[in-house]
Amino acid sequence: MRTIREKIIAYLQQHQNGIDDDALAEVLQLSARQQANSHCRRLEHEGLVIRRRVNGKIHNFWNEGKQSPPAHHPDVKPDNVKPWFWEGNVQTSVIRYLEQRNYVIHSAANTASKERGKDIEARHGKRILWITVKGYPEGTKKTHPSTQAGHWFKQAAFDILQYRGENNKVNLGLALPDFPRYRSLAQKIKWFQPVARFTYYWVQENRTVVEESYELVL
């Protein structure tokens, strides 16, 4: 069964006149316009799709200079340049994981451009899910990756605090590449997970996602 991404690619390759997000969602029978929008924006970032305004609406065009990428399988990296633990690749893996479980993706922030907002907003029936996503740092001449990872983990934890303060009923998630450093930090604040009520989404190198839910402490 083809993924939404693969359906969009196939359609755009066969319709060189382009199509806007609303019409694309309708023709592919997607459950929400946001699915077409988020996937096309990601394809644009990868250089596979060109998005430009036509008669006041943004249309999607297949970049004819690009060949069709391989289908997304668990052993295929979503980006040939960035490492698997880059934030955008972690986000892509989690989105695919959620879609396989019949979630509707309402929005996905462009991590490459540091777009503000929640990294992933999804829905499954009446269940609303907000996820903050972090990658793993490659480090700099002045900062060791482990040190920088500590800062990123703190930012992610603060996101969870903000989201819980914004909505006490929504489901929350924290997506991270599965590194020992992040596992150690998560263990150190083990008490925080059931208090803030969120789920870890651990993304492994082969793009497998391991979901670690919280347990209420009574």
| Cα–Cα dist 94/166, whole Å | 23
Q: What is the pTM of this model?
A: 0.65
pLDDT in tens, 23-69: 999 999 988 888 888 899 888 888 888 888 887 788 999 987 655 55
Helix, strand, or coil here: 4?
helix
Task: Please answer whether residues 109 and 95 qualify as being in contact, where contact means their C-beta atoms are separated by less than 8 angstroms.
Answer: no
Domains recognised in the chain with CATH numbers: 4-62 (1.10.10.10), 87-212 (3.40.1350.10)
pLDDT in tens, 122-162: 999 999 999 999 999 987 777 889 999 999 999 999 999 99
DSSP character at residue 14: H
Q: What is the pLDDT of residue 171?
A: 96
The token pair that represents 70 in the structure block: 């391989």
